[in-house]
């Protein structure tokens, strides 16, 4: 179960946009932590998902291309970011 960390500009629909994108692509969302942006740091989400094997490799790219998403990283020791 991959866990992804997203940094984003705090647009009014960014949370809904991210979660809807994942559900439309048949990802099961198992956990979400959300922290709204303030003047010191961008907004942040940590999302755990179970993605279908046929397109699990595309999830980070899908999220990185959404409006208001600044960075997507796998939440592990290597911290690979898009």
pLDDT confidence band for 38 (50 / 70 / 90): confident
Does residue 37 carry a pLDDT above 90?
no
- The answer to whether position 17 is within a domain reads yes
Task: State which residues form the domain around 31.
Answer: 3-74
Give the global pTM: 0.84
Q: Over pLDDT 70: what percentage of the chain?
A: 90
Is 67 part of a structural domain of the chain? yes
CATH number of the domain where residue 54 is located: 3.30.70.260
| Dihedral Cα 82, 30, 54, 66, nearest 10 deg | -40
Q: Is residue 45 part of a domain?
A: yes
pLDDT of residue 81: 62
What pLDDT, on a 0 to 100 scale, did the predictor assign at position 34?
Answer: 93
Q: Is residue 81 part of a domain?
A: no
| Structural domain count of the chain | 1
Q: What is the rounded distance in angstroms from the CA atom of residue 59 to the CA atom of residue 25?
A: 9
If one counts every other C-beta atom within 10 angstroms of the C-beta of residue 48, the result is: 15
- Range of lowest pLDDT (3-7, 36-40, 60-64): 36-40
Per the CB < 8 A criterion, the answer to whether 62 and 24 are in contact is no
Flag whether 80 is in a domain: no
């Amino acid at each position: 179960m991959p866990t992804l960390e997203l940094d984003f500009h705090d647009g009014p629909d960014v949370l809904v946009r991210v979660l809807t994108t994942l559900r439309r692509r048949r990802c099961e969302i198992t956990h979400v932590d959300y922290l709204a942006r303030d003047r010191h740091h961008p907004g942040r989400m940590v999302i755990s998902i179970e993605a279908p094997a046929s397109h699990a490799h595309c999830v980070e790219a899908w999220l990185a291309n959404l409006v208001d998403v600044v960075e997507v990283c796998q939440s592990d020791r290597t911290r690979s970011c898009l």
